[in-house]
Amino acid sequence: MTVAVDSHENVAELSEAAQAFGIELGVILEVETGMNRAGVEPGEVATTLAKAVESAKGLRFDGVMGYEGRTVWTEGFEKRKSETLKTIDRLLAAADDIESNGLEVKIISAGGTGSYDITGKVDRVTELQCGSYLFMDAKYMEVFGDHPHPFRTALTVLEP
């Protein structure tokens, strides 16, 4: 199992739980990639937290994650691609900083249903976080009209 953290409090609580159950828990850092929603800033803050994870009993530092959801609704593929890659650059910068401080970054997790076709082509990204595709809301059909493989609604809810 791997979980994401974005604070020292998260690390302390997870370490306590892992020790109580006698397990080693994989941990990735959520990096703030421009949405101002969650995560730690790339650079010293991320590196310090990664070191805290690595030194916490019962925890294992595995990597970083970010989410470029703010770019999903950008109209036009080329503009969406440019904005998405800027976001991914913040995540990769965090990974670089952490690695330059002696920790291995095994997982770089990013992307989503709205950006899988962009993020999935970034060499260092090891994992995609797609999920909305399961229910595929109509908004994706509007925004991705220029997509080479357009989405379709996958579920219809019928009233009983």
pTM, two decimals, is 0.84
> Crossing angle, helix 8-21 and helix 44-55, to 10 degrees?
10
Per-residue model confidence (pLDDT) at position 37: 81
Averaged pLDDT score across all residues of the chain: 88
25: β partners = 59
What lies within 8 Å, CB to CB, of 133 at 6+ separation is 113, 151, 154
- Cα–Cα dist 33/90, whole Å: 6
Residue 40 in contact with residue 29, Cβ under 8 Å? yes
pLDDT digits (tens, 9 = 90+) for 18-48: 999 999 999 999 999 988 888 999 999 999 9
102 pLDDT band, cuts 50/70/90, is very high
140 pLDDT band, cuts 50/70/90, is low
Q: What's the DSSP call for residue 90? A: H
- Cα–Cα dist 91/110, whole Å: 8
* Domains of the chain with bracketed CATH: 2-146 (3.20.20.10)
71 pLDDT band, cuts 50/70/90, is confident
